[in-house]
Protein backbone atom coordinates (compact mmCIF):
# COMPACT_ATOMS: atom_id res chain seq x y z
CA UNK A 1 0.00 0.00 0.00
CA UNK A 2 1.30 3.47 -0.88
CA UNK A 3 1.17 6.02 1.91
CA UNK A 4 0.21 9.55 0.99
CA UNK A 5 2.51 12.28 2.19
CA UNK A 6 1.22 15.20 4.19
CA UNK A 7 1.27 17.37 1.05
CA UNK A 8 -0.90 14.93 -0.91
CA UNK A 9 -4.10 16.93 -0.67
CA UNK A 10 -2.43 20.21 -1.60
CA UNK A 11 -0.55 18.40 -4.37
CA UNK A 12 -3.80 17.13 -5.91
CA UNK A 13 -5.38 20.57 -5.66
CA UNK A 14 -2.35 22.13 -7.34
CA UNK A 15 -2.40 19.47 -10.07
CA UNK A 16 -6.08 20.10 -10.76
CA UNK A 17 -5.52 23.86 -10.82
CA UNK A 18 -2.63 23.47 -13.28
CA UNK A 19 -4.63 21.15 -15.54
CA UNK A 20 -7.54 23.59 -15.42
CA UNK A 21 -5.35 26.58 -16.36
CA UNK A 22 -3.70 24.70 -19.22
CA UNK A 23 -7.05 23.43 -20.49
CA UNK A 24 -8.53 26.92 -20.47
CA UNK A 25 -5.49 28.33 -22.29
CA UNK A 26 -5.60 25.63 -25.00
CA UNK A 27 -9.36 25.96 -25.54
CA UNK A 28 -9.16 29.77 -25.56
CA UNK A 29 -6.39 29.62 -28.18
CA UNK A 30 -8.48 27.24 -30.27
CA UNK A 31 -11.55 29.45 -30.01
CA UNK A 32 -9.66 32.67 -30.79
CA UNK A 33 -7.73 31.12 -33.67
CA UNK A 34 -10.89 29.67 -35.17
CA UNK A 35 -12.77 32.94 -34.79
CA UNK A 36 -9.94 35.02 -36.30
CA UNK A 37 -9.14 32.37 -38.91
CA UNK A 38 -5.47 32.42 -37.90
CA UNK A 39 -5.20 28.63 -37.47
CA UNK A 40 -4.81 26.13 -40.26
CA UNK A 41 -6.55 22.74 -40.10
CA UNK A 42 -3.49 21.02 -38.61
CA UNK A 43 -3.25 23.54 -35.80
CA UNK A 44 -6.97 23.23 -35.09
CA UNK A 45 -6.69 19.44 -34.92
CA UNK A 46 -3.66 19.67 -32.64
CA UNK A 47 -5.31 22.11 -30.24
CA UNK A 48 -8.57 20.12 -30.28
CA UNK A 49 -6.72 16.89 -29.55
CA UNK A 50 -4.68 18.51 -26.79
CA UNK A 51 -7.80 20.02 -25.24
CA UNK A 52 -9.55 16.65 -25.31
CA UNK A 53 -6.60 14.93 -23.65
CA UNK A 54 -6.45 17.61 -20.98
CA UNK A 55 -10.15 17.23 -20.25
CA UNK A 56 -9.71 13.44 -19.92
CA UNK A 57 -6.73 13.99 -17.62
CA UNK A 58 -8.78 16.38 -15.50
CA UNK A 59 -11.64 13.87 -15.27
CA UNK A 60 -9.23 11.04 -14.42
CA UNK A 61 -7.54 13.11 -11.72
CA UNK A 62 -10.91 13.99 -10.18
CA UNK A 63 -11.92 10.32 -10.26
CA UNK A 64 -8.63 9.27 -8.64
CA UNK A 65 -9.14 11.94 -5.99
CA UNK A 66 -12.62 10.60 -5.23
CA UNK A 67 -11.31 7.03 -4.99
CA UNK A 68 -8.47 8.15 -2.70
CA UNK A 69 -10.87 9.99 -0.43
CA UNK A 70 -13.18 6.94 -0.24
CA UNK A 71 -10.23 4.68 0.59
CA UNK A 72 -9.05 7.07 3.32
CA UNK A 73 -12.54 7.16 4.80
CA UNK A 74 -12.71 3.34 4.75
CA UNK A 75 -9.33 3.13 6.53
CA UNK A 76 -10.53 5.56 9.20
CA UNK A 77 -13.72 3.56 9.73
CA UNK A 78 -11.76 0.29 9.95
CA UNK A 79 -9.38 1.76 12.51
CA UNK A 80 -12.26 3.19 14.53
CA UNK A 81 -14.03 -0.17 14.61
CA UNK A 82 -10.87 -1.87 15.93
CA UNK A 83 -10.53 0.51 18.87
CA UNK A 84 -11.69 -1.04 22.13
CA UNK A 85 -14.99 0.19 23.43
CA UNK A 86 -14.53 1.85 26.77
CA UNK A 87 -17.59 2.16 28.91
CA UNK A 88 -17.76 4.20 32.07
CA UNK A 89 -19.59 2.59 34.96
CA UNK A 90 -21.05 4.83 37.66
- Whether the model clears a pTM of 0.75, i.e. scores above it, the answer is no
Quickly state the pLDDT bin for 37 (edges 50, 70, 90): very high
Query: What b/e string do you get for 24-60 counting C-beta neighbours within 10 Å, with b at 16 or more?
Result: eebbebbeeeeeeeebeeeeeeebeebbeebeeebee
Quickly state the pLDDT bin for 4 (edges 50, 70, 90): very low
62 DSSP assignment: H
CB 49 within 8 A of CB 70: no
Amino acid sequence: MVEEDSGGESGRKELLANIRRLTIAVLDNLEEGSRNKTLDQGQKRLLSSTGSRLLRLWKSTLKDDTVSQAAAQARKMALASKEPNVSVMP
